[in-house]
Structure 1
Amino acid sequence: MASSGIRDRFRAQMRQEVKDAALRQLAEGGAQALSLNAIAKELGVSGPALYRYFAGRDALLTELILDAYADLTAAVAGAPRRLPDLAAAYRSWAVAQPHRYRLLFAAPLPGYDAHDERLVAAAQRAMTVLLEAVGPGPEPEPALARQLAAWSGETDPAVALHAVTAWSRLHGLVSLEIEGNFRSMGLDPDLFFAAETRALDRLISN
């Protein structure tokens, strides 16, 4: 029993060290830089040894994405259920670790299944926080209403439309900021974000 406990702790420690090394690679070169061989070299183990902990690059990538979704969800769930507060929490998380934000929302690597059920469920948990914070808007046209109802479950399609609208604009703002676009335009990201958040709050509140 004691031996099994030691093995479990060692396995958990090694898995975390592999993920930490992978996150450093992501920060330096993006998802395309992720390399199990490079991680093995950094950790001083053989490449095949890593397959005891992750089945391959895609399995490691999936765990990193799930971790990032969980952390993002926790960040926004900890904010008051007001759109400006949720937006600020969302932005703060993304700006603090843009490599993890890109991991969630940038184009997937060739051959990677970005629609894995676990990833879809993790994304839905994050969006549920936003769904709880907005009210209904205009009724969407029937075809879109059916799609929104299928995506959001029991949520009123008019609420779901407002939530997706809010997220789309928020995601655009954050993506432009972390890629440096506002700075290159001579815009202060803080001031621009505050102005756009107020405008978005008025839109969603009406």
Structure 2
Amino acid sequence: MDEKKAIKNGDLVLPGDYLGVIEEYLPGDGVREENGELYAMRTGRVRIDPERMEISVEPVTDTPPLPQVGDVVIGKVTDVKPQVVIVQLVKIEGEDEREIATSKLAGIHVSQIKEGYVEDVSREFKIGDIVRARVIANGKSPIQLSTKGNDFGVVYALCSRCRTPLVRRGQKLICPSCGHVETRKLSSLYRKLKV
């Protein structure tokens, strides 16, 4: 039998997450039993009542938000393809800088990288770059982003040779360690945001 990780009081769970077995706990609110195993029915925090030996899932009222069209998001580049850059969203910018609900993937199409023609997407973004972008469509997966505009683009990047944080010099990035020069679709906020 495969090892299921032990659930603790206060753990955040998603619908369908394994919580334990019927021998350990009685299914409480927000929990369903299936073949002797207990699963979460909603997103929330695990509550274990040791006296009644009951496990329940308390709904989370402050559910982390999903990015909406017009939102400014921060994300990490996970893949660079000829026509699109894949970004793992980290947070939505704003007064409360909230983390994003799920590990949402987003895409920046080549036509949305910057004004004008993009010759080579890999000269604009590299895997591991931290980017600031605007959500332009969220109806289907992945969410669509744009980095057109001065404040959008790469805000933090590492040297592709030695992984040292790159320093901005004009429109180029220079590695203070090995001297390697790289290009990116830079944001005017490069290394000015805490990421």
- TM bin, normalised by shorter chain, reads under 0.3
Q: Which has the higher helix share?
A: 1
Q: Which has the higher strand share?
A: 2
State which structure, 1 or 2, has the greater radius of gyration over its C-alpha atoms.
2
Larger relative contact order, structure 1 or 2 (CA cutoff 8 Å, min sep 6): 1
TM-score computed with the length of structure 2 as normaliser? 0.22
